[in-house]
């Protein structure tokens, strides 16, 4: 099979409706039944071992990088240890529900689930969460925040930054020696060391499981080779077998083995703690030496290396998250956000772009599916040819690639107390969480409904839509006589509601410590040194917990409209404003129009931008003071995924002119849909003007250009300059869609013809036709910059 045909065939196979695999859930349950009474670290490790010993292994025709994380093609596993009831409740609706569909389960699969899932009653984390979190806190979930508990999401939110470089260059056998050394130091007479003892043993069992799994693939490849008639394929299979015998236990000896080792570890981490936001780290940095060595030996050429990289990117699409109906609304479009960070600077501050940075972009340009997520670190030292290639790739794929400002991110990590050499080495995990490989990981935390704080501040602490008292009583807004009173009421609501969010989240995290990750923990330095699982603070103090603020632009726009219409221009009174909000502007369209004509965030207008900045910075300052579980740092972000839609359902009419229940502003810090009317530069300046350094865990700006806006080389240079200026003058993260409304409407009308049209939804790309109409329309509503 030639390279083109191999890539085309394997890529095409991935453009398919996701499927659910029941193997992990079934085997996990069997193992847990067998290990009752044993310590959590051991139970988890044994469960992983059981899964890796028993799950389906297969090598498909043409594959060179092997390993399927499920028995399906684009497959998702179930995690009954977190939550199980919803699967039984919803499994019949999977193929037909409005948000994020899956192929139907077979009768046999349903029976297996009916058999194994009820074991988890009272044992699953979610069941314990419901029993532990005080009821009044549970009541505000999905209003103040998106689903706050990991357990509630039904999958993990581990933003992984394991030490790929070490795994590839040393292998896990070498790492295990370090575990053994630590184990030798354990003094069982000390009670606390008993936990360590089990922790280290858990890692050893997990490593053993990894070796067994790789070995199963080695055997399978050899068996297949023995039967293979095609000589070329036979040789390929033998080579696969050799690779699987070597890695990830021992050091990778060549480029193919390096990719195989990375993929094996990636997928086994996924099987252990399935969830969105796992990363392959700085692949250009750790892969390049293997490539150069092979080239020097004459063992590989650029074309062959390109083919292997393409196959790795395709492989990453073998994973989806299975989400319940509610969760799917918060993160629609099967996001997995499997980051590969390219570019940036090295630990010593020098430009890090290398041959592999370009080659990963080339591979992505050819593959461009939804799961693999290239993150391009941009700074003043980045070669223009690299940034142009990245922008051309983004344009070609229409809706992919994240562009991150190194300057802002590194400054932000320093602000967060990370030493400079580590700060320079960050990768992007999850949505966009700057994380330090080998020593740190990130925990997706609370998504906080910031516009609701305006809703509450202007209704004496009660929700305007439901009437429920959610926040403190901050006074009758009709009697506010100054703008400061409005601002103060907002701030009090923020303080109180963040407290609620952290209370909920901390309970969730403390329960979560009962589902340790022995494999993942074994691949971080801090965990081994401390003898502490990653879920118990093993990567503290560098590990981060995010409070992701949703809808800050709505808050700024609302505050500016009140300041202007009520207090500066005196066109309306507070009473008129509140009446209009109560009526959702019905019969008060004149008031709505006055409010709409006030300055809006995204147009480089200080009047509103500085209020947005103040409101957001205040919330950030409150959030970082909160303590989280096990010494993990509280940090901030502006990231929404698609939470702006469901959280919008709970927010009444806002003073920015938005009607009740409509979506909130998208992306994270993107100006509210369609309000940034003055152009791309003003959009970027408004965003960069905020205190981005305080948003240690990133802020997301989405921008959409018509397909022709950057049609030739001269315009591409201008576009790149636009991007670089944003990155080099205080911006944080920006990502682009190059797709016109005409095309999006055509795709709505003829989904079959646009099956692989990718759009940037939030911090991930999704197939447009797989999104619910509500999300599709929210993307159409975003400002489109035409050729101007």
**Residues binding other proteins (CB under 8 A):** 589-590, 592-594, 604, 678-682, 684-685, 709-710, 715, 717-719, 721-722, 724-725, 728-729, 785, 787-788
- Shortest distance, CB of residue 725 to other proteins, whole angstroms? 4
Q: Choose among 640, 684, 635, 667: nearest CA to 785.
A: 684
Closer to other proteins by Cβ: residue 301 or 597? 597
**Helix, coil or strand: residue 510:** helix
Place of tokens 């205080």: 730
- Shortest distance, CB of residue 720 to other proteins, whole angstroms? 9
669's tokens = 């810090």
Q: From residue 86, how far is each of 70, 118, 425, 555, 650 by CA, in Å? A: 21, 11, 40, 34, 23
- Shortest distance, CB of residue 679 to other proteins, whole angstroms? 3
The backbone torsions φ and ψ at residue 594, rounded to the nearest 5 degrees and listed phi first, read -60, -40
- Shortest distance, CB of residue 395 to other proteins, whole angstroms? 13
Closer to other proteins by Cβ: residue 273 or 706? 706
**Helix, coil or strand: residue 376:** strand
Place of tokens 């991150």: 404
b/e map of 394-428 (b: 16 or more CB within 10 Å)? bbebbbbbbbbbbbbbbbbbbbbebeeebbbbbbb
- Shortest distance, CB of residue 335 to other proteins, whole angstroms? 29
- Shortest distance, CB of residue 709 to other proteins, whole angstroms? 7
Closer to other proteins by Cβ: residue 138 or 682? 682
Residues 544 and 538 sit within 8 Å (Cβ to Cβ)? no
Lay out the sheet containing 544-550: strands in order across: 158-159, 442-449, 544-550, 633-637
Query: How far, in Å, CA of 312 to CA of 284, rounded?
Result: 13
Q: Choose among 70, 767, 212, 209: nearest CA to 78.
A: 70
Distance, CA of 781 to chain centre: 23
HSE at residue 580, side-chain half, CA atoms within 13 A, is 24
- Shortest distance, CB of residue 686 to other proteins, whole angstroms? 10
- Shortest distance, CB of residue 483 to other proteins, whole angstroms? 23
Query: How far, in Å, CA of 71 to CA of 51, rounded?
Result: 12
β partners of residue 636: 547
Closer to other proteins by Cβ: residue 643 or 706? 706
Residues 343 and 425 sit within 8 Å (Cβ to Cβ)? no
Query: How far, in Å, CA of 166 to CA of 418, rounded?
Result: 21
Closer to other proteins by Cβ: residue 449 or 683? 683
- Shortest distance, CB of residue 722 to other proteins, whole angstroms? 6
- Shortest distance, CB of residue 662 to other proteins, whole angstroms? 18
- Shortest distance, CB of residue 688 to other proteins, whole angstroms? 9
DSSP string, 77-146: E--TTT--HHHHHHGGGTTT-SSS--PPPPHHHHHHHHHHGGGGTTTSHHHHHHHHS-HHHHHHBTTTBS
Query: How far, in Å, CA of 197 to CA of 209, rounded?
Result: 18
The backbone torsions φ and ψ at residue 681, rounded to the nearest 5 degrees and listed phi first, read -70, -40
Whether the upstream peptide bond of residue 248 has omega within 30° of 0, thus cis, is yes
Closer to other proteins by Cβ: residue 70 or 683? 683
Closer to other proteins by Cβ: residue 50 or 613? 613
- Shortest distance, CB of residue 731 to other proteins, whole angstroms? 11
Closer to other proteins by Cβ: residue 128 or 725? 725
Closer to other proteins by Cβ: residue 8 or 715? 715
Whether the upstream peptide bond of residue 494 has omega within 30° of 0, thus cis, is no
Residues 402 and 434 sit within 8 Å (Cβ to Cβ)? no
Closer to other proteins by Cβ: residue 421 or 606? 606
Closer to other proteins by Cβ: residue 347 or 718? 718
- Shortest distance, CB of residue 718 to other proteins, whole angstroms? 5
Neighbours of 85 (CB within 10 A): 17
Q: Choose among 276, 307, 258: nearest CA to 373.
A: 276
- Shortest distance, CB of residue 783 to other proteins, whole angstroms? 12
Closer to other proteins by Cβ: residue 304 or 717? 717
16's tokens = 């398919």
Helix runs in 458-605, H state only: 483-512, 518-521, 525-530, 552-562, 574-582, 589-596
Closer to other proteins by Cβ: residue 284 or 604? 604
Residues 129 and 509 sit within 8 Å (Cβ to Cβ)? no
Closer to other proteins by Cβ: residue 485 or 728? 728
- Shortest distance, CB of residue 598 to other proteins, whole angstroms? 13
Closer to other proteins by Cβ: residue 184 or 714? 714
Query: How far, in Å, CA of 302 to CA of 343, rounded?
Result: 19
- Shortest distance, CB of residue 581 to other proteins, whole angstroms? 16
Closer to other proteins by Cβ: residue 462 or 716? 716
């Amino acid at each position: 099979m030639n390279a083109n045909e191999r890539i085309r065939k394997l890529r095409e196979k991935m453009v398919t409706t996701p499927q659910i695999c029941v193997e992990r859930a079934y085997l996990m349950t069997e193992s847990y039944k067998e290990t009752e009474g044993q310590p959590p670290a051991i139970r988890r490790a044994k469960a992983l071992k059981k899964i890796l010993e028993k799950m389906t292994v297969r090598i498909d025709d043409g594959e060179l990088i092997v390993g399927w994380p499920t028995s399906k093609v684009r497959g998702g596993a179930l995690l009954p240890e977190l939550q199980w009831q919803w699967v039984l409740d919803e499994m019949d609706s999977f193929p037909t529900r409005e948000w994020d569909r899956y192929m139907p389960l077979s009768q046999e699969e349903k029976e297996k689930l009916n058999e194994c899932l009820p074991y988890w009653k009272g044992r699953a984390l979610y069941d314990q969460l419901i029993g532990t979190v005080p009821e009044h806190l549970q009541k505000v979930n999905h209003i103040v925040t998106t689903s706050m508990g990991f357990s509630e999401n039904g999958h993990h939110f581990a933003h992984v930054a394991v030490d790929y470089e070490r795994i590839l260059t040393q292998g896990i056998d070498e790492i295990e020696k370090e575990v053994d050394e630590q184990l030798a130091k354990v003094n069982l007479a000390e009670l606390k060391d008993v936990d360590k003892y089990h922790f280290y043993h858990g890692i050893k069992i997990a490593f053993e499981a990894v070796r067994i799994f790789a070995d199963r693939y080695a055997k399978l490849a050899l068996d297949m080779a023995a039967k293979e008639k095609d000589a070329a394929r036979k040789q390929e299979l033998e080579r696969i077998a050799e690779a699987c015998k070597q890695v990830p236990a021992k050091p990778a000896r060549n480029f193919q083995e390096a990719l195989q080792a990375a993929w094996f570890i990636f997928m086994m981490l996924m099987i252990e703690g399935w969830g969105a936001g796992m990363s392959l780290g700085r692949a250009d940095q750790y892969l390049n030496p293997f490539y150069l060595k092979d080239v020097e030996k004459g063992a590989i050429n650029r074309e062959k290396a390109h083919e292997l990289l393409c196959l790795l990117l395709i492989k990453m699409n073998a994973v989806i998250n299975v989400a319940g109906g509610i969760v799917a609304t918060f993160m629609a479009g099967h996001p997995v956000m499997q980051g590969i960070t390219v570019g940036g600077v090295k630990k010593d501050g020098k430009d890090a772009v290398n041959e592999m940075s370009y080659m990963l972009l080339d591979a992505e340009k050819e593959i461009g599916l939804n799961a693999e997520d290239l993150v391009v670190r941009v700074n003043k030292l980045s070669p223009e040819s690299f940034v142009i290639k990245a922008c051309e790739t983004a344009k070609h794929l229409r809706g992919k690639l994240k562009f991150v400002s190194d300057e802002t991110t590194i400054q932000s990590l320093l602000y967060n107390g990370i030493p400079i050499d580590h700060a320079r080495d960050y990768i992007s995990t999850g949505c966009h969480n700057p994380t330090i490989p080998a020593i740190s990981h990130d925990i997706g935390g609370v998504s906080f409904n910031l516009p609701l704080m305006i809703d509450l501040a202007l209704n004496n602490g009660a929700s305007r839509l439901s009437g429920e008292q959610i926040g403190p009583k901050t006074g009758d807004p009709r009697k506010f006589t100054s703008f400061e009173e409005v601002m103060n009421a907002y701030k009090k609501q923020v303080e109180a509601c963040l407290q609620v969010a952290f209370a909920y989240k901390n309970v969730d995290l403390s329960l979560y410590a009962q589902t340790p990750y022995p494999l993942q923990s074994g691949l971080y330095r801090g965990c081994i040194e401390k003898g502490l699982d990653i879920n118990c603070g093993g990567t503290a103090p560098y590990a981060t917990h995010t409070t992701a603020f949703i809808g800050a632009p709505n808050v700024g726009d609302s505050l500016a409209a009140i300041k202007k219409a009520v207090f500066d221009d005196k066109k309306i009174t507070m009473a008129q404003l509140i009446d209009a909000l109560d009526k959702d502007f019905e019969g008060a369209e004149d008031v709505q129009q006055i409010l709409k004509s006030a300055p809006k965030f995204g147009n480089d207008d200080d009047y509103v931008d500085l209020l947005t900045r103040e409101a957001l910075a205040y919330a950030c300052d409150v959030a970082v003071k909160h303590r989280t579980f096990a010494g993990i740092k509280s940090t901030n972000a502006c990231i929404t995924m698609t939470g702006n839609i469901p959280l919008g359902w709970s927010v009444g009419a806002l003073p920015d002119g938005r009607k009740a229940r409509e979506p909130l502003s998208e992306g994270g810090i993107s100006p509210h849909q369609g309000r940034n009317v003055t152009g791309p530069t003003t959009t970027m300046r408004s965003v960069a003007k905020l205190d981005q350094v305080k948003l240690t865990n990133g802020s997301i700006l989405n921008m959409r250009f018509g397909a022709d806006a950057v049609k030739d080389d001269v315009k591409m240079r201008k576009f790149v300059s636009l991007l670089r200026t944003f990155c080099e003058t205080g911006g944080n993260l920006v990502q682009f869609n190059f797709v016109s409304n005409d095309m999006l409407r055509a795709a709505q009308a003829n989904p079959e013809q646009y099956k692989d049209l990718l759009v940037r939804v939030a911090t991930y790309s999704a197939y447009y036709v797989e999104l619910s109409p509500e999300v599709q329309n929210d993307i159409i509503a975003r400002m489109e910059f035409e050729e101007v």
